[in-house]
Amino acid sequence: DTGVSQDPRHKITKRGQNVTFRCDPISEHNRLYWYRQTLGQGPEFLTYFQNEAQLEKSRLLSDRFSAERPKGSFSTLEIQRTEQGDSAMYLCASSFSGRDEQFFGPGTRLTVL
């Protein structure tokens, strides 16, 4: 499968726990994006990497959120001390440098109880 993949697809956790999600972009895509989508809304930008460098962070990304892309390939998004308001679909997308088109993964649906 040459598309963007995300793992896990679903995560249920209790409030206060830490969670980590993984995204594997399309190979050769050097840009990687994280978005959050709540029910009935459009995705909201969280952060963006070019290779291993994190170039943009949204104000939505509180101190409890951290994202990494250590080798410029896959990326992880960690949420510490989860809150019920963190419940959402977390989408990852990738694009090729010099091209605008972003291709999305299937998302990780997080439910915080």
Which residues of this protein are in contact with another protein, per CB under 8 A? 4, 31, 33, 35, 40-45, 48, 55-56, 58, 91, 95, 100-107
* Nearest distance in Å: CB 43, another protein: 5
In the bound state with another protein, the residue whose beta carbon lies nearer, of 13 and 30, is 30
In the bound state with another protein, the residue whose beta carbon lies nearer, of 18 and 97, is 97
What is the token pair recorded at 75? Answer: 């990326």
What is the token pair recorded at 2? Answer: 């040459």
User: How far is residue 14's CA from residue 83's CA, in Å, rounded to a whole number?
Assistant: 8
In the bound state with another protein, the residue whose beta carbon lies nearer, of 80 and 96, is 96
In the bound state with another protein, the residue whose beta carbon lies nearer, of 74 and 103, is 103
* Nearest distance in Å: CB 55, another protein: 8
User: How far is residue 16's CA from residue 33's CA, in Å, rounded to a whole number?
Assistant: 25
* Nearest distance in Å: CB 18, another protein: 25
* Nearest distance in Å: CB 104, another protein: 4
